[in-house]
Amino acid sequence: EDIRVYEFAEACGKSPAEVITVLFSLGMMVTKNDFLKQDELEILGEEFGIEVTVRDALEDVNYVGDYHDGDEDIDDSSFVTRPPVVTIMGHVDHGKTSLLDKIRSSKIASGEAGGITQHISSYTVEKNGQKITFVDTPGHAAFSAMRSRGTAITDIVIIVVAADDGVKPQTEEVIAHAKASGCPIIIAMNKIDKETANIDMVKAQMAEKGMTPVDWGGNTEFIGVSAKSGEGIEDLLENILIQAELLELKADPTAKAKAAVIESSLEKGRGPVATIIVQNGTLRIGDNIVCDTTFGRVKAITDDNGNAVKELGLSETGTVLGLNDVPTTGTVMVVMDSDKEARDIATTRAEHARAKELSKSTKVSLEEMSGLIAEGKIKQLPVIIKTDVGGSLEAIKGSLEKIANDEVKVKVIHAAVGGITESDLVLAGASEGCIILGFNVRPTGSVKAKAKADGVSINTYSIIYDLIDDVKDALSGMMSAVI
Ligand code: GDP
């Protein structure tokens, strides 16, 4: 993965133009600096009669799967049941934070934790000798974002609804996100200690949203709880364990650890700190770790009670010190065999990220062009002109070419009558800083989207003077600087 058109061409002894032509003929628009996608690589392999193996060097490393009994091709002899990871979501003020704190404090023997009153983002409790890990996600949007990036940390979702307030707009959003995750959902009807609490109202409103209570013939569990008195919390935990059992969550405690980063920060005197949940294996002090573009060796581990520990096991959560930089939330921390391996992977990833950033930034907007021109970095403004009729095309082309002076000039790469198409984007992408000017023509939605993705700027006008003025302004950036 992550190979550019020209790199690919070089690797198989072709010219970039040949590669571009093949893809172009199939309607795929690329420029020589673009990264090839998997399907494009496959097509090219076929076309040139060479074998192309698409392999993400980091794929196995990043793979974090759920393992179930009976999965084929997996030696599951060392697999054990792992504790479920639970996320609580709900409308603001319905008691998410209070509930998380109450569950924790009701389960921790006094004295065990240092600052129990302080809210923490993840912890593990025990019920009937079985563990449950709770995670406080910053919001349902973040929850789904992590999921879409492949860092699905949650096994079970709890939707909290205040029984005195009922279903609110945010509750509905949460339902949508929770459903999309495919996780089992439990409804916690909170604040049942209040006189105004109305459990039947909540059930009816939720049933309307497709979440019918079990006692109404549906299949969603509704548990009444109070984060204030603690009532119902044992019920809720029991229910979580029942759901977890059905999920048959398995993982391998003997494997090299994989963990999801759920929080990160830079702390004075400690350096980069990552709060993690172990998804597979066991994380130990001394392990060589890589986490997206950061790497290091585990120097210290703190468990969810703030105690220094030597290791974290399956579904356990805590903080890790030892990374060279602050990792991005939602990324996966993986243990490697050697520190060299960890460093190499992190460095390669960082280089790729930088290269991708650069390949984008070579294509700029009219305003940015003006800045580059002002700095004397660019001596010409390449443009593509598309218009509705021939008359305006000639007029615009003539006017733009007249603006040019000795220092800077407009370079018309292509001028034609017709709509702005993908092939215009390809052309623009091939010429650094090229801008597409449309007069009485507009790009279609898909061209617009592709332009955005490619970083090609399209400006459309319905008054010729506006078009000319914009270009003049861009060029004058340089003209004034030269004088
Ligand atoms: P969040 O925004 O969902 O995290 O809600 P909070 O946990 O901050 O709670 C919002 C308010 O409701 C606070 O004033 C809590 O004290 C109160 N609250 C939360 N749970 C309960 C409960 O079970 N009973 C009562 N009476 N009040 C609660």
Here the contacts of 167-170 (C-beta below 8 Å, separation 24 or greater) are 167/202, 167/205, 167/206, 167/208, 167/209, 168/91, 168/94, 169/91, 170/90, 170/91, 170/92
Answer whether 193 contacts ligand 1 (Cβ < 6 A): yes
| Position 15 confidence tier, pLDDT thresholds 50, 70, 90 | confident
State the distance from the centre of ligand 1 to the C-alpha of 122, rounded, in angstroms. 19
pLDDT beyond 60 at 459: yes
Q: How many CB atoms lie within 10 A of CB 455?
A: 15
Identify whether the C-beta of residue 272 lies closer than 8 Å to the C-beta of residue 324.
yes
Task: Give the closest residue (by CA) to ligand 1 atom 10.
Answer: 93
Closest CA to 452 of 427, 418, 429, 474: 429
Q: What is the pLDDT of residue 9?
A: 85
Residues with Cβ within 8 Å of 321's Cβ and at least 6 positions away in sequence, in order, are 270, 271, 272, 273, 298, 299, 300, 301
Distance CA 475, CA 94 (A): 57
Distance, CA 102 to ligand 1 centroid (Å)?
11
| DSSP labels, 125-149 | EEETTEEEEEE--S-HHHHHHHHHT
Q: Which residue did the predictor score with more confidence, 357 or 291?
A: 291
The 8 Å CB, 24+ separation contacts for 465-469 are: 467/396, 467/437, 467/439, 468/396, 468/399, 468/400, 468/403
Ligand 1 mutation pick, 87, 91, 92, 93, max ligand atoms within 8 A of CB: 93
Give me ligand 1 centre to Cα 97, in Å. Answer: 7
Give the Cβ contact number of residue 469 at 10 Å.
12
Atom of ligand 1 nearest to the CA of 225: 23
pLDDT tens, residue by residue, 166-186: 999 889 888 888 888 889 999
More confident residue, 29 or 362: 29
Distance (angstroms) between ligand 1 centre and the Cα of 278 equals: 30
| Ligand 1 atom nearest to CA at 160 | 3
Tell me how far apart the alpha carbons of residues 272 and 293 are, in angstroms, rounded to a whole number: 13
Residue numbering of the annotated binding site for GTP: 90-97, 136-140, 190-193
Q: Tell me, what's the ipTM?
A: 0.99
90 lines ligand 1 (CB under 6 A): yes
Residue 190 CB less than 6 A away from ligand 1: yes
| Exposure of 343 in the CB half-sphere (CA atoms within 13 A) | 5
Protein residue with least CA distance to atom 16, ligand 1:
98
For ligand 1, atom 2, name the residue with the nearest CA.
Answer: 93
Q: In whole angstroms, how far apart are CA 393 and each of 119, 158, 249, 387, 396?
A: 65, 61, 65, 6, 5
Residue 273 Cα distances to 257, 296, 298, 335, 340, angstroms: 17, 12, 11, 16, 21
Least trusted range by pLDDT, from 308-317, 410-419, 460-469 = 410-419
What's the pLDDT at 399? Answer: 87
Cα–Cα distance for residue pair 387/394, rounded to 1 Å: 9
**Of ligand 1's atoms, which has the minimum distance to the CA of residue 91?**
3
Average predicted confidence (pLDDT) for the chain = 82
Q: Give the model confidence (pLDDT) of 107-145 as tens digits.
A: 765 545 444 456 677 899 999 999 999 998 766 666 666
CA of 230 to the centre of ligand 1 (A): 12
Choose one of 89, 94, 98, 100 to mutate for the ligand 1 pocket test, by most ligand atoms within 8 angstroms of C-beta.
Answer: 98
Instruction: Judge if the beta carbon of residue 82 lies within 6 A of ligand 1.
Output: no
Question: Token pair for residue 220?
Answer: 């969603």
Give nearest CA residue, ligand 1 atom 18: 95
pLDDT of residue 349: 80
Residue 341 pLDDT > 70: yes
One-letter amino acid identity for 309? V
The pLDDT assigned to 60 comes to 41
> Which of ligand 1's atoms lies nearest the C-alpha of 101?
7
pLDDT at 273: 93
Which is the closest atom of ligand 1 to the Cα of 98? 7
What spacing in Å lies between the alpha carbon of 384 and ligand 1's midpoint? 59
Rounded to an integer, the average pLDDT of 337-348 is 89
How far is ligand 1, taken at its centre, from the CA of residue 244, in Å?
A: 27
pLDDT at position 213: 96
Cβ(194) – ligand 1 distance below 6 Å: yes
**Confidence (pLDDT) at 404:** 65
| Whole-number pLDDT of residue 81 | 94
Please determine, for residue 290, whether its predicted confidence score (pLDDT) is greater than 70. Answer: yes
434-455 per-position pLDDT tens digit? 889 999 888 877 888 888 888 8
Q: Rg of the chain over CA atoms, in angstroms? A: 29
How far is C-alpha 59 from the chain's CA centre? Answer: 16
Distance from the alpha carbon of residue 199 to the mean position of ligand 1, in angstroms: 17
Nearest to 52 by CA among 44, 63, 61: 44
C-alpha to C-alpha distance for 274 and 87, rounded to whole angstroms: 19
| CA–CA separation, 366 and 438 (whole Å) | 13
What SS3 state is found at 271? strand
pLDDT of residue 388: 83
401 CA distance to ligand 1 middle (Å): 68
Cα(first)–Cα(last) distance of the chain, in Å? 48
Question: Percent of the chain, pLDDT > 70?
Answer: 81
96 lines ligand 1 (CB under 6 A): yes
